[in-house]
Amino acid sequence: MAKEISRQWLEKAREDLAVINKMSGDEYLTNAVAFHCQQLVEKSFKAVIEEYGDKLLKTHNLETLYNEVTKLISLDLDPAGLELLDSVYIEARYPVALGLLPYGKPTLKDASSFSEFAKSVFCKVCDILEPTHNLGKDGG
Q: pLDDT tens for residues 82-123?
A: 998 988 766 555 555 544 555 678 899 999 999 999 999 999
The pLDDT of residue 20 is above 70 = yes
Sign of CA dihedral 128, 82, 49, 40: negative
- Classified as helix, coil or strand, 8 is helix
Q: What is the mean pLDDT of the chain?
A: 87
This prediction has a pTM of 0.87
> Tell me, which fold does domain 4-129 have in CATH?
Four Helix Bundle (Hemerythrin (Met), subunit A) (1.20.120)
CB 122 within 8 A of CB 13: yes
CB 138 within 8 A of CB 18: yes
